[in-house]
Amino acid sequence: MGKATGFLEYTRVETTAKESLERIKDFNEFHTPLSEEQRREQAARCMDCGVPFCQNGKMLCGMISGCPLNNLIPEWNDLLYHGQKEQALSRLLMTNNFPEFTSRVCPALCEKACTCGLDGTPVTVRENERSIIEFGFESGLMEPQIPKVRSGKKVAVIGSGPSGLAAADTLNKRGHSVTVYERSDRVGGLLMYGIPNMKLEKHIIQRRTDLMAAEGVKFVTNANVGADVSADDILKDFDAVILACGSSNPRDIKAEGRDAKGIYFAVDFLKSTTKSLLDSDLTDGKFISAKDKNVVIIGGGDTGNDCVGTSVRHGCKSVTQLEMMPKLPDERADSNPWPQWPRVCKTDYGQEEAIAVFGRDPRIYTTTVKEFIKDEKGNLTAIKTVKLEFVTDEKSGRKVPREIEGSEELLPCELCLIAAGFLGCQSYVADAFGAELDQRTNVKTETGSHATNIPKVFAAGDMHIGQSLVVRAIREGRDAAAEADRYLMGYTNL
């Protein structure tokens, strides 16, 4: 431990974000890195505590506590404090294939479990991680590491999101020949088209996939396996297959008037903006525009917040975000102690921007949609909402929502975005390979395994465990790679 009293001497300092009214002028990332001296001070705050909960990555009360990748956080924080960045980079890459992704989009599970946060503020783990990996790229240390020996085994990875990329990267480094199939026109899956540029600029993904290609990974885009590309041919041509297609079946809203024009799933809205931005800097007009429209977003999670930030950048007339659940407390409840994930209310970047532009928080709690109102041409014009109360169900004993009679309201709305989560994978890929699905429409495997009912076919990521986090998807990809490697070689050193 480099600075035994660092957590006492230095306070938490985060990177500075541009003011809301300034950053909404473009779709770029908007944080300014700290100086090297400041970053070393932040690393010095790491206590190297006897039990580093930050790297635990276990489930507590149904929520993850600590890093699912078991990143060696105290080690590389110590190295960063001592200015040994190259060694810090080496330790970081031992457990995380893509620190440049997680350090931008992960909700920092590690920080929520940091011992320093038990009675104070946690270490800036995520920002320290980002400074280390960016140093690696800027200093030329992230050079292609081409395997010296190839196994002669061929692996197909279906899907190029974080789990698919992690599986491909891990198996390629092991010496297998890996081909990644992606149905979209660009590699990245959720990272490319599900997360806006403000959180993850797309040249960051291209930088990594270019490196992977130089190391021998083959990428095939516009290849919709199970539709345009035969699953039988892939099974015949490859020694192992990893299904990593994500949880891309969006949950719909069943309400009167759902067929109105102007209602879209959030992922389609976000993808259209990112694709148009990359193709033409939005000049082609091939995106779902929120400009001058009253926007209502159904769903209060990260995707809903991304829709808020994107709509504000489009120049919407207003934006409202509906949440079924009550507002979370501003501070931890006694029933939610550290190191559990803190179930507290947070105001994210998109909501901050909506407050700056419109003077109010866009979120309305314990509210859902009762009816979509449309005009004679079928265009959406308004949404009828209703307030909810949660009552105890006599049979199950669980709290269930119930409409409050007489609480209906009309919200003007020309664009409605459904960000209500996902219901598992789109089954056609699994069906094409003959892989069974479970009751949640995820690919079925034995507990603790990634092997499907079909020999040599494995599943990883959201397609396997359901909608989750990028950091968990990377862990899923690494674990599936190890299991596939054991199948191919009879043992694994991954």
For the stretch 291-308, pLDDT in tens is 999 999 999 899 999 999
Number of domains in the chain: 3
Domain check: are 477 and 392 in the same one? no
Task: Report d(CA 55, CA 96) in Å as an integer.
Answer: 12
Instruction: Give the structural domain span for 104.
Output: 6-138
Q: Determine the length of the chain.
A: 494
- Residues 90 and 26 grouped into a single domain: yes
Per DSSP, 326 falls in state P
Of 418, 436, 466, which marks where a domain is finished?
418
* Model confidence at 106: pLDDT above 90: yes
Structural domain includes residue 1: no
* 60 shares its domain with 97: yes
**pLDDT tier, 111 (very low <50, low <70, confident <90, very high otherwise):** very high
Q: Are residues 283 and 344 in the same domain?
A: yes
Dihedral of CA atoms 203, 208, 209, 213 in degrees, nearest 10, equals 130
Q: Same structural domain for residues 134 and 180?
A: no
The closest alpha carbon to 125, from 172, 200, 66, belongs to 66
User: Looking at the structure, do residues 298 and 407 belong to the same domain, yes or no?
Assistant: yes
- d(CA 170, CA 353) in angstroms, rounded, equals 39
Question: What's the CA gap between 418 and 420, in Å, rounded?
Answer: 6
% of the chain residues with pLDDT over 70:
100
pLDDT of 48 over the 80 cut = no
What are the tokens at 41? 């001070």
Residues 371 and 458 in one domain: no
3-class state of residue 433 by DSSP? helix
Q: Are residues 132 and 171 in the same domain?
A: no
Task: State the Cα angle at 252 between 401 and 324, rounded to 5°.
Answer: 30
Question: pLDDT (tens digit, 9 = 90+) per residue, 437-489?
Answer: 999 999 999 999 999 999 999 999 999 999 999 999 999 999 999 999 999 99
Cis peptide before 339 (omega within 30 of 0): yes
Q: What is the DSSP letter of 58?
A: E
Domain for residue 66, yes or no? yes
- pLDDT level of residue 1 (50, 70, 90 thresholds): low
Q: For residue 328, name the pLDDT band (cuts at 50, 70, 90).
A: very high
Neighbours of 186 (CB within 10 A): 21
Give residues with Cβ within 8 angstroms of 282, minimum separation 6: 273, 276
Q: What is the CATH number of the domain that holds 354?
A: 3.50.50.60
Cβ atoms within 10 Å of 302's Cβ, excluding its own: 17
Which of 396, 418, 440 marks a domain boundary? 418
Mean pLDDT score of the chain, rounded to an integer?
96
Torsion angle of alpha carbons 74, 78, 80, 86, nearest 10°? -90
Residues 333 and 461 in one domain: no
CB distance 443 to 435 below 8 Å: yes
Contact between 387 and 366 under an 8 Å Cβ cutoff? The reply is: yes
Give the mean model confidence (pLDDT) for residues 200-219: 98
| Bridge partners, 243 (sequence order) | 158, 459
Is residue 319 over pLDDT 80? yes
pLDDT in the model for residue 2: 66
Same domain, 271 and 403: yes
Tokens 């890929």 -> residue? 429
44 and 111 inside one domain: yes
CA dist., res. 306 & res. 60, Å (int): 27
Structural element, H or E, at residue 431:
helix 428-433
Beta strands in 111-176 (DSSP E): 154-158
Q: Which amino acid is at 159?
A: G
Assess if residue 48 is contained within a domain: yes
Where does a domain end: 107, 138, 169? 138
- Specify whether 133 is located in the same domain as 46: yes
Nearest Cα to Cα of residue 180 among 170, 151, 418, 251: 170
**Is residue 242 within 8 Å of residue 459, measured between CB atoms?**
yes
Is residue 399 domain-resident? yes
- DSSP class of 359: S
Greater confidence, 143 or 62?
A: 143
Q: Please check whether residue 144 lies inside any domain of the structure.
A: no
